[in-house]
Chains A and B, each alone.
Chain A
Amino acid sequence: MQRLNWRDFDFWLLAGVILLIIFGVVMIRSAIAGNIDLLELNIVRRQIIFALLGLLMVFAATLIDYHVWEATYTVLYFGVFLLLGVLFAVGQAVYGSARWFDVGFILIQPSEIAKIVLIMALARFFARNQHRIHRPEWIARSFLLTLGIAIWILLQPDLSTSIVLFVIWFVMLWSSGLPVRYLVGTAVGGVFLLLVTVPLVFGAIVNPDSLSEDGLIKPYQMWRVHNFIFTDEEARYGEGFNVEQALITIGSGSLFGAGYGQNPQVQSRFLKVRQTDFIYAVIAGEFGFVGTTLVTLLLLFVIWRCLLIARRASDTYGALMVIGVATLLTFHAMVNVGMNLKLLPVTGLPLPFISYGGSSLLSTMLGIGLVESVAIRQKQLNFEA
């Protein structure tokens, strides 16, 4: 057991994360004003408790040598595999579909744990097989490793989380040395496939209800794409309305925003799902272009710190794990902000650290813990050798 060098603990990263969480709590408080149900749930206090738990988790994960996860990878991977399988089976039997385990005080979302475990598993796999990752069969193996977990989530059905898993897989694959020619080939092949399926896809987008309820892509998911492309500005409810209201909220923010707790779009509840999916719009509406840009920069700062740690990591395994966590944060942020700005269809992905949600906050904090664990064990300037 090597002695930990706390000088290498990335305090900047932790400071950025804590700032974002505090800011998130403050924004949630503004977002839920006027909604009695949410006030009664006391979600601000819950988010603070989760943040404190998450902070403990960061330190705990920092203290544990991340190589432990490499050694216990089999247990973790199959544990999650089983958990998701049981959730799927029970969910199908009891509710028709389920994403959560209700353990009393909190709804545990196994898919959140799955993201972290997948990062651990892929990091181990790519680190061990980096020298042969240019070979298609090994790429396929890594894909199957991802699919083993993603399939359950896809079946839940939770398309956006499964996409997150595949994006993590792809970025880690890329980082460990995916040959560029494959990428070009895939791109060409993808375009070709797209052209072939365009009539099919287009038909499904125009009339989402033509899809089967039992299919892999459900009508409601295609409706989101449909609503994204064909917006009904007159709609008084539904996702089209929500996105339209988010745009109005953002737009009404102007340069400096209406001020904290002052945006009528938010306070009079024209903006829906304010504390989670559309918290970005709340920020934009109340703090304007300047405030929103600052928050975005802070988020990018956190991602940048992670990537720095990835470069300084003492081994490939650690570096890949950090890249995985960075991908998780980045992709969530990109999709969430893109949805708020109506550049991407509606998905339920949260804005990391800021959106309300216990499971997702804990899992991202665990991710930060892993990053710090790698940071604190980074390459030393070795005077002994």
Chain B
Amino acid sequence: MNFPERNPNLENTIDPWRIRVFVIIVALVFSVYTLRLYSLQILQGEDYAARAAGNRTQEINIQAPRGIISDRNGAVLARNVASYNVVITASELPDDEADIQRIYRELSTVIGVPVNLNELSPENPYVPCRSEHGIAQIALYGATASPYTPVRVKCDVDELTARVVMERSVDWPGVNIEIEPIREYPTGNLTANIVGYMGPVPAELLDYDLYQQQRLVANRDKVGYAGVELSLQDILGGTNGLRVVERDVAGQVLRDLQPPIAPQPGNNVRLTIDVRLQQLARTALEAEMNYLNRVSPTGIRTTSGVVIAINPKTGEILAMVSYPSYDNNRMARFIPAYYLEQLQSDGREPLLNHAIQAERPPGSVFKLSTAVGALNEGVVTPDQVIKTPGVIELVQKYYANDPGKPQKFVDWIYNDGAHPEGFVQLTIRGCIQNSSNVCFYKLGGGYFDEIPNGGLNICRLKTYAEALGYGFPTGIELPGEENGLLPTPTWKRITQGENWATGDTYIATVGQGYVLVTPLQVLMSATTIANDGVMMQPTIVREIVDGEGNVITPFTPRIKWDITQDNLIKVYAPQAGVSSSCQETGEARNVDPEVLQIVQEGMRLAVTDGTLKDTFQGFPIAAAGKTGTAEYCDNVAQEKRLCKPGNWPSHGWTVAYAPYDDPEIAVVAFLYNAGEGAKTAAPVVRGVIEGYFYLKTIDAGGETP
């Protein structure tokens, strides 16, 4: 039978070539796929394996607790306290949505964060502790970003709220309290200039070796920004721990890939400060400053001040007050920008530790260097009588053969009008006792045949001042210490573009002109003299103690140098002219102990019958000291138009030690723009020395008067 057309129901009429085309297309496509697979797995396999490894390995940095700072008696100056954050871990929330909502509602009533507030958006992202979002939004962020990592819902809740949340966390799975260590400074602004404060690790300093070594993490860990917190960061900071772990996509830690490194807590530091003496010194300084400002007819007079107390035998700083100060507790959680700005724009510079970070003219306290130099160099003999009229005329010369211009130099006592004859005549002891300017002008710069050959001269003055600790940082364990300035003819030519003049030498010998010092340097110079020439290394750190109370570094006083033994005094060739550079001969010598004995006697006389007589009236312990009234004309004074010729404003200085025979305490006080040191700084010094012996009696268990 023939059909006109093939009956499809009886025959397969599909053209085989059409199926072949199908096969070819499939073969082509899968060949491409295989090539692609080959490229991914074989050619780029290593890249992808590395990316897979990067996906799942995570470094976990474990914060090390910071060391505690205390004073010499164990009173805490800086410690870590718990700050409580309410956190939600999304992965621990219950499965049931109604349960979750119940938790949010109940939590909301306890912590006061609304359940729903401000949807998350790129413009308004979640920022821990800062952004304002509802609990549900923050939890959603946690669930999507990192379900196994707690996210902060509310930061720094009070302890009561924290306890309530902890108690109820049984009913609130997923809700927890995170304890964040925060630095607390119980003594606040009393010790802020010593202790300092902390701030976040600056991202640009992360490469800094110490921070690397301590494994600090940006945006989490904090480092010292000032004071001991900064300078002892290596001791206090400890070393953060590290775990390299494998994690899954949700952030859950599966296992350690390397042996974990446990965090090493920072060591505790015990400072040499006695916080009681510190308080006493601050009170004495503040009281004096308040008094001076109250009686001042021209309004606020003195705006900042410094008191430092040291044990001359050991170099231990017992108190270091820099006024005004700031409240480092306000920087504990974060540094408020407005507060920092307020401190930075304050002309009194409360952020500075004026004891070491401010350079001031020393005035007459600097005469101790001149006296030591003049005696040791034989410019004057111990019993030589020097004529000290109220006014002398000296010739101001700018170069060797300069005929010069006569200029009058007056003694301080001449200014009160009652003593036109000045001190008449004095020996070197008397010069120190009465702080006679005329005497020191003559010793420092020479005076005709009475003090021939240009006196001590600026070169030798500089080397004696350096031996007494001026011109360089003292090396105390505090950051940002200033050098001070001891001028030389070369220095003046380079920086001022002018030749050194005779007058420059004269005023430098009495600590005026270009001479700048820090209060600690003044204290160290007096301490060295009191200590018979032994310069102790000033220190603020008594001992370093580990977390279990074992002393790691016990206190050992360190002698910096002994000017009677070590050849610190450079010998210079005679100056060709007044403005010639200082020519070192390469030789060096030391100081005769007898010289120091004479200077000590001069300082003792100042207390018994000199500049400090009124202040130390009736003081039961033999003290010795030196006052200073340093004229200045800085930018502040210029703005206030205080720099009137011949009548500049002045800072008050006094440095003293006691007991005279066997010094236990040396104190310096500096009062900015307070005027005459004997009347302004001296009472503060006496108060602190008194306080020291008062505390000593208490500590010995004795009765106090």
Contact between chains at B36 and A264 (CB < 8 Å): no
Q: Is A252 an interface residue (CB 8 A)?
A: yes
**Which B residues are in CB contact (< 8 Å) with A269?**
248-250
- Contact call B248/A315, Cβ cutoff below 8 A: no
CA distance A177 to B51 in the complex (A): 50
Question: Residue among B8, B23, B42 with the most chain A CB within 10 A?
Answer: B8
Contact present for A314 and B12 (CB under 8 Å): yes
Report chain B residues within 8 Å CB of A323: 14, 19, 22
Contact, CB under 8 Å: A175 / B8: no
In the assembled complex, A150 has its CB within 8 A of some CB on chain B? no
For the complex, give the distance between the alpha carbons of A328 and B19 in Å: 15
Interchain CB contact under 8 A, B33 and A338: yes
Produce 1/0 per residue, A116-147, CB < 8 A to B: 00000000000110110000000000000000
Q: Are B47 and A341 in contact (CB under 8 A)?
A: no
Chain A positions within 8 Å of B41 at CB level: 250-251, 253-255, 284, 288-289, 292
Which residues of B lie under 8 Å from residue A317 when comparing CB positions? 8-9
Among A56-64, A87-95, A201-209, A299-307, the one that faces the other chain is A299-307
Q: A254 and B45 in contact (CB under 8 A), knowing A293-B34, A338-B33?
A: yes
Most central of B12, B21, B42, B48 by chain A CB within 10 Å = B12
Given A250-B40, A338-B33, the answer on whether A264 and B48 have CB atoms closer than 8 Å is no
Q: Residue B18 contacts which of A175, A249, A318, A337 (CB distance < 8 angstroms)?
A: A175
Q: Which residues of B contact A128 (CB under 8 A)?
A: 8
Q: What are the residues of chain B within 8 A of A249 when measuring CB–CB?
A: 52
Please judge, given known A-B contacts A34-B248, A268-B246, A293-B34, whether A174 and B18 are in contact too, CB under 8 Å. yes
Task: Kindly state whether residue B573 has any CB partner on chain A within 8 Å.
Answer: no
Bound-complex Cα distance A313 to B56 (A): 53
Q: Is the CB of B8 within 8 A of A247?
A: no
CA distance A320 to B248 in the complex (A): 48
The interface bits of chain B over 637-667 (1 if a CB of A lies within 8 angstroms of the residue's CB, else 0) are: 0000000000000000000000000000000
Give chain B nearest CB distance to A379 CB in angstroms: 7
B588 within 8 A of A: no
A275 at the interface (CB under 8 A from B): no
Within B22-36, the residues touching A (CB, 8 Å) are: 22-23, 26, 29-30, 32-34, 36
Contacts of A127 in B (CB 8 A): 8-9
> Across the interface, which residues of A come within 8 angstroms of B49, CB to CB?
251-252, 254
Q: Which residues of A contact B97 (CB under 8 A)?
A: none
Closest to A326 in B: B22
Does B11 belong to the interface (CB within 8 Å)? yes
How far is B15's CA from A311's CA once the two chains are assembled, in angstroms? 9
Cβ contacts under 8 Å, A251 to chain B: 40-41, 44-45, 47-49, 51-52
B246–A341 CB distance below 8 A: no
Q: A255-B42, A269-B250 are in contact. Are A315 and B10 (CB under 8 A)?
A: yes
Flag if B55 contacts A270 (CB, 8 Å): yes
Given contacts A128-B8, A175-B18, whether A268 and B247 have CB atoms under 8 Å apart is yes
Question: Does B254 sit within 8 A of A, measured CB to CB?
Answer: yes
Q: Are A175 and B19 in contact (CB under 8 A)?
A: yes
Please measure, in the bound complex, the distance between the C-alpha atom of A330 and the C-alpha atom of B21, giving whole angstroms: 14
Residue with the highest number of chain A CB atoms closer than 10 Å, among B5, B44, B51: B51
Chain A residue numbers with a CB within 8 Å of B254 are 268
User: Contact at B52–A264, with CB atoms within 8 Å?
Assistant: yes
Contact flags (1/0) for A8-42 with B, using CB distance below 8 Å?
Answer: 00000000000000000000000000100000000
Q: Tell me if B144 is interfacial: C-beta within 8 Å of chain A.
A: yes
Tell me whether A310 and B14 are in contact in the complex, defined as CB-CB below 8 angstroms, given that A269-B249, A270-B56 are known contacts: yes
Cβ of B81 < 8 Å from any Cβ of A?
A: no
B50 to chain A, nearest CB (A): 9
Residue pair B249, A270 in contact (C-beta under 8 Å):
yes
**Interface: A265 (CB within 8 A):** yes
Binary interface encoding of chain A residues 227-264 relative to chain B, with 1 for a CB under 8 A from any of its CBs, else 0: 00000000011000000010111111111000000001
A316 at the interface (CB under 8 A from B): yes
B16 CB–A CB distance under 8 Å: yes
Q: Are B42 and A289 in contact (CB under 8 A)?
A: yes
Q: Mark A145-177, 1 if CB is under 8 A from B, else 0.
A: 000000000000000000000000001001111
Chain A: minimal CB distance from B37 (Å): 6
* In the assembled complex, A97 has its CB within 8 A of some CB on chain B: no
Question: Looking across the interface, which residue of chain B has its beta carbon closest to that of A269?
Answer: B249
Least CB separation from A34: chain B residue? B248
Query: Is the pair A171, B22 in contact by a Cβ cutoff of 8 Å?
Result: yes
Q: Are A315 and B22 in contact (CB under 8 A)?
A: no
Q: How far is the CA of A330 from the CA of B18 in the complex (A)?
A: 16
Distance A300 CA – B31 CA, assembled complex (angstroms): 11
Contact in complex: B22, A307 (CB < 8 Å):
yes
B40 / chain A contacts, CB cutoff of 8 Å:
247, 250-251, 284, 341
Q: Does B258 contact A (CB under 8 A)?
A: no
B8→A316 contact, CB < 8 A: yes
- Distance in angstroms from A168 CB to nearest chain B CB is 12
The answer to whether A300 touches B26 (Cβ under 8 A) is: yes
Q: Given the complex, which residues of B lie within 8 Å of A311, measured CB to CB? A: 12, 14, 16, 19
Q: Is B619 an interface residue (CB 8 A)?
A: no
A39 to chain B, nearest CB (A): 14
With both beta carbons as reference points, the residue of chain A lying nearest to B13 in the complex is identified as A316
Contacts of B250 in A (CB 8 A): 269
* A316–B44 alpha-carbon span in the complex (Å): 47
Main secondary structure of the interface of B (DSSP, over half): helix
Closest to B35 in A: A341
User: Is B38's beta carbon under 8 Å from chain A?
Assistant: yes
Q: Are A252 and B45 in contact (CB under 8 A)?
A: yes
Give the interface centre of A131, A174, A341 by most chain B CB atoms within 10 Å: A341
Q: In the complex, are the beta carbons of A296 and B18 less than 8 A apart?
A: no
Q: Does A319 reach chain B (CB closer than 8 Å)?
A: yes
Q: Min CB distance, B140 to chain A, in Å?
A: 13
Q: A289 CA to B34 CA in the complex, in Å?
A: 9
A177 to B8, CA, bound (A): 13
Inter-chain contacts of B56 with A (CB < 8 A): 264-265, 268, 270
Query: In the bound complex, do residue B48 and residue A252 qualify as a contact, i.e. CB atoms below 8 Å apart?
Result: yes
A343/B22 in contact, CB under 8 A: no
Q: Considering the chains assembled together, what is the distance between the CA atoms of A269 and B23 in angstroms?
A: 37
Shortest A278–chain B CB gap in Å is 13
Residues on A with beta carbons closer than 8 Å to the beta carbon of B10: 314-315
Kindly state the separation between the CA atoms of A91 and B258 in the bound complex, as whole angstroms: 54
The answer to whether the Cβ of A334 comes within 8 Å of any Cβ in the partner chain is yes
Contacts of A253 in B (CB 8 A): 41, 45
* A-chain residues with CB within 8 Å of residue B246 when the two chains form the complex: 264, 268
Contact digits for B538-576, partner A, Cβ 8 Å, 1 yes 0 no: 000000000000000000000000000000000000000
**A303–B29 CA distance with the chains assembled, in angstroms:** 14
A245 to B55, CA, bound (A): 9
Q: A175-B19, A270-B55, A270-B249 are in contact. Are A343 and B33 (CB under 8 A)?
A: yes
With CB as the reference atom, state the residue of chain B lying closest to A292.
B37
- In the assembled complex, the CB of A70 is this many whole angstroms from the nearest CB of chain B, namely 9
* A128 CB to nearest chain B CB (Å): 7
Roughly how many angstroms separate A245 CA and B56 CA in the complex, as a whole number?
12
> What is the CA–CA distance of A227 and B21 in the complex, to the nearest angstrom?
32
* Closest residue on chain A to residue B27 by CB atoms: A300
A249 to B41, CA, bound (A): 9
Per-residue A-contact encoding for B242-276, CB less than 8 Å = 1, 0 else: 00001111100010000000000000000000000
Closest A residue to B254 by CB, please name it. Answer: A268
Instruction: Evaluate whether A248 and B9 lie within 8 angstroms (CB atoms) in the complex, with A237-B144, A254-B42, A296-B33 already known.
Output: no
The listed residue with most B CB atoms (<10 A of its CB), out of A34, A248, A379, is A248
Taking beta carbons and an 8 Å cutoff, which residues of B are in contact with A? 5, 8-16, 18-19, 21-23, 26, 29-30, 32-34, 36-38, 40-42, 44-45, 47-49, 51-52, 55-56, 144-145, 246-250, 254
Q: Closest 7 CB pairs between A and B?
A: A251-B48, A268-B248, A252-B52, A316-B8, A254-B45, A269-B249, A289-B41
Q: List 25 A-B contacts (CB under 8 A).
A: A127-B8, A171-B22, A174-B18, A176-B14, A237-B144, A251-B41, A253-B41, A254-B45, A254-B49, A255-B45, A268-B246, A269-B248, A269-B250, A270-B56, A292-B41, A296-B30, A307-B19, A311-B12, A314-B12, A315-B10, A316-B8, A320-B14, A334-B26, A334-B30, A338-B33
